[in-house]
Structure 1
Amino acid sequence: MSLAESVVDVTVLIVAYRSRRTLPKALAALEHQTVSPRSVRILENGSPEGEGVEGAQVPAGYELLESPVNLGFAGGNNRLAEDASGEWLLLMNPDCYPEPDWLERLMQAAAAYPWASLFGSTQYADGGEGHLDGLGDVYHHSGFFYRGGYGRVLPPPTDGEVFSPCGAAMMVRRSLFEGLGGFDADYFCYGEDVDLCFRARLLGHRAVQVAGAVVVHEGSASSSRYSDFAVYHGVRNRAWTFFKNMPWLLLLFSLPMHAALTLAHGLVCARRGQGRLYLRALRDACRAWRNVRAKRRRILSGRRVALGTLARAMSWRPLDPIRRRPVIREIPAGE
């Protein structure tokens, strides 16, 4: 049987919150893949009345779970992964519309790059006329991270290594996800994908951005990019990721720039009327220091990757976080 006719060893995980409008289109695109996943699991994640997913929207053979409360993107995916089987977990946002060969391209990449444990998709903005939604997540050495190429029109990408795939359309080995304990559920939403991949990189795992695995992503379908919710969780979780995962030498070197960019970003938020919210996010990040420190000790005690290798996976150009320059490193010949 050819790959194009097969069922592949993948479980698709979809966390749906206020997704009644977008999920049918996403599932229709999933139904028309050139290869079929072994299973699809959907979580109705505590949506308000009238905005949640109903059983009639879910195709036969797909599994629908329900949570009475919102577990967040992190906790929701952890819940879906608990009883999942198969070699691969494929995270897919309910407002993500994959091209028909999306899954097949990801599986071809997994076969071509057996040393990689995480794979990302080329994301275009829905209705964006060629504008990118992202080419993987970039981790700047300052501790700021961003979706590479977001909002830009760029030449077609090629396969390459990225710091982290974007969780909107990311494939990860199930054994790795389980070994890491899944997403950090304290994050709730935003940055949990970068945190997961940072922890994976500390163990020596690598991530590949797959050029031909294309999805169209509506984005911000359940919360606005500049909403108080997004800003609060983004700021708090960014600080946690930096102080939880960054080895001491890199942390001390990068701390001045981290402080400078934190101040600059705070001023931008203040101009939008979110200054107090920004300070509250930083305060809450600091209040959790004991918990963050305990996690840091546990994570860094198991570090297996050389400091130079980790540093080379990051971005070091000062303006990259502002310009959202994608960082996709060439895969060495023979790998």
Structure 2
Amino acid sequence: MQLSVIILNYNVRYFLELCVLSVQQALVGIDSQIIVVDNNSTDASSQMMQRRFPEVQFIQNKENVGFPKGNNIAVAQAKGKYVCILNPDTVVAEDTFRSVLAFAERQKNLGIVGVKLIDGSGKFLPESKRGIPTPWVAFTKIVGLYKLFPKNTLFNQYYAQQLPENQTGKTPILVGAFMVLHKELYQDLGGFDEDCFMYADDIDLSYRALQSGKDNYYYAGTTVIHYKGESTIKDGVYRKRFQEAMRYFYQKHFKTPVLFLLFMRIGAFLFLFAKIFQGKATKISSATQEYVVYSSSLELCHKLQRKFQKKVLLKTLDTEKLVISSKNTYLEPTELLFDNHFISFKEIIDSFMALRNKEIRFKILPKGSTYFIGSDHSTDRGTVIEIE
């Protein structure tokens, strides 16, 4: 078997359904398997998986064992030459795995491969590629020096800014939302460190792959949506775990003194505080002025008009390829609704990127579902719009 896709879920039932559906489409023609592990969700995720995807291998944990252990449990049952660690709040394109696997096969000293990630508004997620968070690099991130001097190698290492988002290259640290590596390497490294509950586990695994002599890569040849805000709630528990995770990583790899650990704990809190509130000024807050649905279903258009009590524009195409020009004019803010029965995930992802940085919201109707789903910002929990 060539590939095992591992998806660890916790209380994101609707995003999980969208994710698994996109993964199934992307695995057509690949000798593969999907393993979904549920960390004792309370939102009917298990019932949905059993009803909607009975063919998918499903592991139900009786408690929330955390990100590292949950993934380790799944990889132990994986049969693929490669494993892909994938967040449940992601959407992959139909050619994502073929493209990544082809790239991986060409490498002679492969460690971990990550890809270009965008959020639910189409904006690039800089954590797709990162440098080793040494004390200095972490400091430049915390105080914002990487923003002031984005081209200076002394200050721009946290997000590996020397490597453009559309350029493939070696990158030390990758994000756990999407990681592809040989199963053998995963096992040789001992998998994710189960002493680190979350938030530094992907940094730790990436760093240990480097220490073993392997090369990690950021691969820009495919793009994956990572809604991101669904994975965690930014509350007091989050802050505590984030600080503990960073402290654990530094103690494990850098043996830093107590005084510096205290500084990093304060810095981690400030960094997290900034993450919670970043982008709020640019979030779309005003009411939607225009709804546009890309579909071939007039019935769907009528349902949406009744739902929103507004006119909904139905756009259909004579060709199979969806082309949305960034020059298109919409009444802003506009909500674009993509019917996956009619439009491929790759076309949807391309549309997100073509129209990013505009006051446009995006929602997706997963094939075989009765709801649209999306997120307007990387810090949002996301929105589900039932249509039946």
* Normalised TM-score (structure 1): 0.68
- Tell me the equivalent position of 1:79: 73
Give the alignment of 1:1-335 within 5 angstroms: 9-33=2-26, 35-48=29-42, 50=44, 52=46, 54-126=48-120, 128-132=121-125, 134-142=127-135, 144=138, 156-224=165-233, 226-246=234-254, 260-266=263-269
Distance 2:273 2:232 in 1: 20
- Change in 2 beyond 3 A, CA 1:103/1:268: closer
**Superimposed CA distance per residue, residues 145-167 of structure 1 (whole angstroms, 9 cap, x where no aligned partner):** 989659x9x96521111112211
Tell me if the contact between 1:18 and 1:52 (Cα under 8 Å) persists in the aligned partners.
Answer: no
Distance 2:274 2:91 in 1: 35
Tell me if the contact between 1:98 and 1:216 (Cα under 8 Å) persists in the aligned partners.
Answer: yes
Distance 1:270 1:167 in 2: 21
How far residue 258 of structure 1 moved from its aligned partner, in angstroms, is: 6.1
How far residue 101 of structure 1 moved from its aligned partner, in angstroms, is: 1.1
- Change in 2 beyond 3 A, CA 1:20/1:61: same
Tell me if the contact between 1:133 and 1:217 (Cα under 8 Å) persists in the aligned partners.
Answer: no
Counterpart of 1:39 in structure 2: which amino acid?
Answer: Q
Q: Secondary structure at the match of 2:72?
A: helix
- Tell me the equivalent position of 1:276: none
Counterpart of 1:190 in structure 2: which amino acid?
Answer: Y
- Change in 2 beyond 3 A, CA 1:155/1:182: closer
Distance 1:135 1:222 in 2: 16
Distance 2:218 2:112 in 1: 9
Counterpart of 1:29 in structure 2: which amino acid?
Answer: S
Aligned alpha-carbon RMSD (Å): 3.1
Give unmatched runs, 5+ long, in structure 2: 142-156, 276-388
- Change in 2 beyond 3 A, CA 1:58/1:188: farther
Counterpart of 1:244 in structure 2: which amino acid?
Answer: K
How far residue 139 of structure 1 moved from its aligned partner, in angstroms, is: 2.1
- Change in 2 beyond 3 A, CA 1:217/1:268: closer
- Change in 2 beyond 3 A, CA 1:213/1:268: closer
* Normalised TM-score (structure 2): 0.59
How far residue 270 of structure 1 moved from its aligned partner, in angstroms, is: 8.3
How far residue 47 of structure 1 moved from its aligned partner, in angstroms, is: 0.9
Distance 2:31 2:172 in 1: 26
How far residue 110 of structure 1 moved from its aligned partner, in angstroms, is: 0.6
Which structure features the higher share of helix residues?
1
Q: Report sequence identity in percent.
A: 20
Distance 1:46 1:98 in 2: 25
Q: Secondary structure at the match of 1:234?
A: helix
- Change in 2 beyond 3 A, CA 1:114/1:35: farther
Query: Is the radius of gyration larger for structure 1 or structure 2?
Result: 2
Tell me if the contact between 1:72 and 1:189 (Cα under 8 Å) persists in the aligned partners.
Answer: yes
Counterpart of 2:13 in structure 1: which amino acid?
Answer: R
How far residue 208 of structure 1 moved from its aligned partner, in angstroms, is: 0.6
- Change in 2 beyond 3 A, CA 1:189/1:266: closer
- Change in 2 beyond 3 A, CA 1:52/1:213: same
**Superimposed CA distance per residue, residues 233-270 of structure 1 (whole angstroms, 9 cap, x where no aligned partner):** 21111111112123x6xx57xx9776544434446778
- Change in 2 beyond 3 A, CA 1:47/1:108: same
Tell me if the contact between 2:173 and 2:203 (Cα under 8 Å) persists in the aligned partners.
Answer: yes
How far residue 58 of structure 1 moved from its aligned partner, in angstroms, is: 4.5
How far residue 30 of structure 1 moved from its aligned partner, in angstroms, is: 1.0
Q: Secondary structure at the match of 2:14?
A: coil
Distance 2:191 2:207 in 1: 12
How far residue 82 of structure 1 moved from its aligned partner, in angstroms, is: 1.1
**Superimposed CA distance per residue, residues 292-326 of structure 1 (whole angstroms, 9 cap, x where no aligned partner):** xxxxxxxxxxxxxxxxxxxxxxxxxxxxxxxxxxx
Give unmatched runs, 5+ long, in structure 1: 1-7, 273-335
Matched positions, count: 257
Distance 1:241 1:27 in 2: 31
